[in-house]
Chain A
Amino acid sequence: MPFLAMPGRRAAPLILAVVLCSFAAMARASELFVTNEVDDTVTVLNGETYKVIATIPTDQRPRGIFATPDHKYVLVCDGDSSNIDVIDAKTFKVVRRIDTGPDPETLAMSPSGDTVYVSNENNALVTVVNFATGKWITQIPVGIEPEGLGVSRHGHTVVVVSETTSMAHFIDTKTWKVVANILVDTRPRIAQYTRDYRELWVSSEVGGTVSVINPLSHQILHIIDFHIPGVDKEYIGPVGVRFTPDDKTAFVALGRANRVAVVNARTYEVEKYILVGQRPWQIAFSPHHKRLFVVNGLTNDVTIIDVSSQQAVKSVPVGRLPWGIAVIP
């Protein structure tokens, strides 16, 4: 009996796969790429079914992940291997490795996709790399443990936050000089521009706040605080920040508070806390902003939030210690 049952069990997914493939040829579903820090892999999830469709081996300690503006590649920082894995978004193969210098934590790209900005966590540097050639353009000394990078609308300014110096550094991309430094609350992780680029939000993980900064005057306009009944203040660690297309609402992942905050981005009031998995850090929208994906580091899964109802729909497993996420439409 088992002998007979085997082909049947195998045939079903095979047929399904064929159907999916032909469907994909017409309109391939979006895909989520999630870095698994201790597995040295990237998990690829189908953006509709949330099934794992590939597990891509990377170099050591993959964390920061970024989709190129043309959506052809997904770039992954390999902290312990001092390089970027360039993953072909169609074939899921690592097609190139780019030398970044020691301990790249995360990255961003210029709007054109020509230039890669890398934060070298152990060396207090931002390394600027020509994406096409892999050649270094320059290295810029910044504060200790640089992490999140934000790029202005036309790429004239790159902002990097340094976790241990607790600053947001503004770098002019014409001169490669640091032109302003803003002291923010302790351990900043992410610098995220609003979609209209009028504000820059910086999350402070240990400080437990988000600073809203005017990126032109370099002034702090407001500091957003979080209060969750029944959760001690010291567990609230804001990291990932994303804005809805109308800039009216921001989602902020709160780390060990195991929640994503929904913030009115006009009034800066927190409207809701959505319970997710444990220690959510990085978040990303689906291509049409109907879903928000939340990467939970300690429960090894991704929580899917329905944006309009602001409800967690489900959580799907990925690899161990998942860190970052990029979405290919």
Chain B
Amino acid sequence: MIVRRAARVLGVLTLALLAGVSQSFWAPAAAAHAAVRNFTITFLRKRYHFNPETLPSLLETHPGNLGLAGSQEATYELNTAGKFIGWNFKLNVVTVPDGGSLAAAAARLLAGGPKVIISDLRPDDLLALADLPSAKDSLILDMRTTEDRLRQQECRANVFHLLPNQAMRTDAIAQYLVWKRWPRWFIIQGPTKEDAVYAADIRRSAARYGARVVAQKTYDYNPGSRRSDTGYQQIQTQMPLATEVAGDYDVIFVADETDLFGDYLPYNTYDARLVVGTQGLVASAWTPAYQEYAALQMQQRFDLFAHRGMTERDYGGWLAVRIIGNAVMRADKTAPMPMREYLRSKDFLIAGYKGQGLTFRRWDNQLRQPVLLSTPLMTVSMSPQHGFLHPGYTTDTLGFDAPETKCHF
């Protein structure tokens, strides 16, 4: 069946390749003379207020083209391929200023009909975009969010999620901890709503994989002036207090989605224990240190282009454009609705330097993928871990599987 499917797709392509064109068409230099088809990808982002002073470490940077650089690099890559087969891609970047109206900008954007939009937006703005009546038949590729709710109760049929959500991340760490035989966890969670979601995901992961949450604390850290010359002395007294619990445990599983205090935990805990979760050993789709499965080539290519390391959000932006490229050049889908159908079909597959093709879950439009476990300098492992099995895809052992989905399109 797969052979037939592929033969069909390739038949179309071969026809397209051979249809009435002279040999010279295939020479890159001569491609301009042939009928080049154009495809515009809209990259929609908002400049959110951000104070770099709130980043705990001076080493953390916040480049203005975070995420966008990934999409730009991928557009260049598509055009490298496109010039051979008569496609040209353009990235139309729309930036809503801080305090500007996302809905108004989106309405203007969609006035001409349904579009293919890469969303570099926070959850509520993404939902505002997705829920516009004029966006109903558009394709929105969410390259930024990790929130569970957007894959569950608040899922949308026109939104496809590229980065692993929170539950995928806690499952990825949980599998590794179980494989390491470190099954006793102490959860320390921050004050935000998303911290509570992440902590609930940790408990869910524990139940799934036979680990135990033996202690749990909420820590309401007031950052105050973070960058002061006596900072570490404060931290050195506060963190042991925050992490003192009765009973023994193997690791601290921290739920601090906004980076308030998690990075202060390693080496400051009351007991000599490792830290995993939103800080310490973290789960992500990509880190600038990852080099397995030919990722080294991607890292080098990105560095040549952007003169910095490739972050997870850059990877999200890169994936989004490459997915669109697949739909256009491989499946000849150019309108948003047929593209959506294609992304949810068995014909779709995208390579993302994970050693296997990545596909979308039909029940919530989440990209299924292996998840990296890493420290700032090193890749420690990649989940699913060996031995965690699934009747369909082993990557569906991470996050919300079909039977547990709360998403109903």
Binding site for B on A (CB under 8 A): 103, 121-122, 124, 141, 143-145, 162-167, 169, 177-187, 206-209, 211, 218-220, 222-225, 232, 234-235, 237, 256
Q: How far is the CA of A62 from the CA of B393 in the complex (A)?
A: 34
Least Cβ distance of B225 to chain A in Å? 44
In the assembled complex, the CB of B22 is this many whole angstroms from the nearest CB of chain A, namely 11
Given A164-B77, A234-B394, answer yes or no on A178-B27 (Cβ-Cβ < 8 Å). yes
Asked whether A223 lies within 8 Å of B14 as measured between CB atoms, the reply is no
CB pair A232 B27 closer than 8 Å? no
Contact with A along B104-134 (1 / 0, CB 8 A): 0000000000000000000000000000000
Give A162 to B297 CA distance when docked, in angstroms: 13
Q: Which residues of A contact B26 (CB under 8 A)?
A: 177-181
Docked CA distance A122–B23 (Å): 28
Interface-centre pick from A181, A208, A218 (highest chain B CB count, 10 A): A181
Q: What are 22 A-to-B residue pairs whose CB atoms are below 8 Å? A: A121-B297, A122-B300, A141-B80, A144-B77, A145-B294, A162-B81, A163-B294, A166-B330, A179-B23, A182-B14, A183-B10, A206-B349, A206-B351, A206-B356, A209-B6, A219-B14, A220-B10, A223-B2, A223-B3, A224-B3, A237-B355, A256-B356
Name the contact of A186 in the complex, choosing from B2, B17, B85, B349 (C-beta under 8 A): B349
Instruction: List the A side residues contacting B350 at CB < 8 Å.
Output: 186
Within 8 A of A (CB), among B77-112: 77, 80-81, 84-85
Q: How far is the CB of B379 from chain A (nearest CB, A)?
A: 15
A233 to chain B, nearest CB (A): 9
Distance between A222 CB and nearest chain B CB, rounded to angstroms: 7
Chain B binding surface, main DSSP class: helix
Taking CB atoms, residues of chain A closer than 8 Å to B408 are none
Cα distance A219–B13 when bound, in Å? 10
Q: Does B357 contact A (CB under 8 A)?
A: yes
Complex interface: chain B residues within 8 A of A209 (CB): 2, 6
Q: How far is the CA of A220 from the CA of B15 in the complex (A)?
A: 11
The reply on B308 being an interface residue by CB < 8 A is no
- Given A164-B351, A180-B23, A225-B3, output 16 extra A-B contacts at Cβ < 8 Å: A141-B28, A143-B81, A167-B84, A177-B27, A179-B26, A180-B17, A181-B84, A183-B10, A183-B13, A183-B330, A186-B357, A219-B14, A223-B2, A234-B357, A235-B356, A237-B356
* Top-3 shortest CB links A-B: A234-B356, A165-B81, A181-B84
Q: Which residues of chain A are near B329, meaning CB under 8 Å?
A: 183
What's the minimum C-beta distance from A173 to chain B, rounded to whole angstroms?
Answer: 14
B1-31 contact mask (Cβ, 8 Å, vs A): 1 or 0? 0110011001001100110000100111000
In whole angstroms, what is the CA distance A232 to B355 when docked?
Answer: 13
Q: Tell me the smallest distance from the CB of A134 to a CB of chain B, in Å.
A: 25
Q: Contacts A206-B357, A220-B7, A234-B394 hold; do A178 and B84 have CB atoms under 8 A apart?
A: yes
- Name which residue of chain A comes closest to B15, CB basis: A219
B394 touches A179 (CB 8 A): no
The docked-state distance in angstroms from the alpha carbon of A141 to that of B28 is: 8
Q: Tell me which residues across on chain A come within 8 A of B356, comparing CB atoms.
A: 206, 234-235, 237, 256
Which among B2, B23, B80, B355 is the interface contact of A124 at CB below 8 angstroms?
B80
Residues of chain A lying within 8 A (CB to CB) of residue B7: 220, 222-223
Residues of A close to B23: CB separation below 8 A: 179-180
Cα distance, A219 to B6, chains bound together (Å): 13
Residues in A with CB closer than 8 Å to B393 are: 232, 234
Closest to B357 in A: A206
A234 and chain B: residue at smallest CB distance: B356
Residues of A contacting B6 in the complex (Cβ-Cβ under 8 angstroms): 185, 209, 223
B3, B7, B84: residue with the most chain A Cβ atoms closer than 10 Å: B84
Within the complex, what minimum Cβ distance (angstroms) separates A62 from chain B?
15
The distance from the CB of A264 to the nearest CB of chain B, in whole angstroms, is 15
Complex partner residue of A181 from B85, B294, B357, B395, CB under 8 angstroms: B85
Q: Which residues from A are CB-within-8-Å of B349?
A: 186, 206-207
**Cβ-neighbour of B28 out of A144, A178, A207, A208 (below 8 A):** A178
Q: Is B362 an interface residue (CB 8 A)?
A: no
The distance in angstroms between the C-alpha atoms of A143 and B297, with both chains bound, is: 14
CA A179 – CA B21 in complex, angstroms? 12
Q: Which residues of the partner chain B approach A177 to less than 8 Å between Cβ atoms?
A: 26-27
Note all chain A residues with C-beta closer than 8 A to B330: 166, 183
B304 within 8 A of A: yes
Shortest Cβ gap from B221 to chain A (Å): 41
Give Cα A209 to B330, complex, Å. 16
Chain B residues, Cβ within 8 Å of A232: 393-394
B217 within 8 A of A: no
Whether B301 is near chain A, meaning CB under 8 Å from some CB there, is yes
A122 and B357: CB pair below 8 A? no
Interface 1/0 per residue, B285-304 and A, CB below 8 Å: 00000000010010011001
Distance from A42 Cβ to chain B, minimum over Cβ atoms (Å) = 21
Residues of A within 8 A of B77 (CB): 144, 164-165
Q: How far is the CA of A237 from the CA of B85 in the complex (A)?
A: 26
Question: Contacts of A182 on B, CB cut-off 8 Å?
Answer: 14, 17
Residues of B within 8 A of A144 (CB): 77, 80-81, 301
B2 / chain A contacts, CB cutoff of 8 Å: 209, 223, 225
Give A143 to B76 CA distance when docked, in angstroms.
Answer: 11
Residues of A with C-beta under 8 A to B10: 183-184, 211, 220, 223
Given contacts A167-B84, A187-B351, contact A179 B28 (CB under 8 A): no
The reply to whether B14 and A165 form a contact with Cβ atoms under 8 Å apart is no
Taking CB atoms, residues of chain A closer than 8 Å to B18 are 218
Q: Is A145 touching B297 in the complex (CB atoms < 8 A)?
A: yes
Given the known inter-chain contacts A122-B300, A183-B10, A186-B349, please indicate yes or no for A167 contacting B81, CB distance below 8 A: yes
> Which residues of B in the span 334-362 have a Cβ within 8 Å of any Cβ on A?
349-351, 355-357
Report Cα–Cα, A251/B285, bound state, in Å.
Answer: 34
User: Which B residues lie within 8 Å of A178 (CB)?
Assistant: 26-28, 84
B390 smallest CB distance to A (angstroms): 9
A145-B297, A209-B6, A225-B2 known; A165 vs B80 contact (CB < 8 Å): yes
Name A140's closest neighbour in chain B (CB-CB).
Answer: B28
- Chain B residues with Cβ below 8 Å from A165 are 77, 80-81, 84
Task: State the CA gap A237–B357 with chains docked (Å).
Answer: 10
What is the chain B residue whose CB lies nearest that of A237?
B355
From residue A210, how far is it (CB to closest CB) to chain B in Å? 11
Contacts of B84 in A (CB 8 A): 143, 165, 167, 169, 178, 181
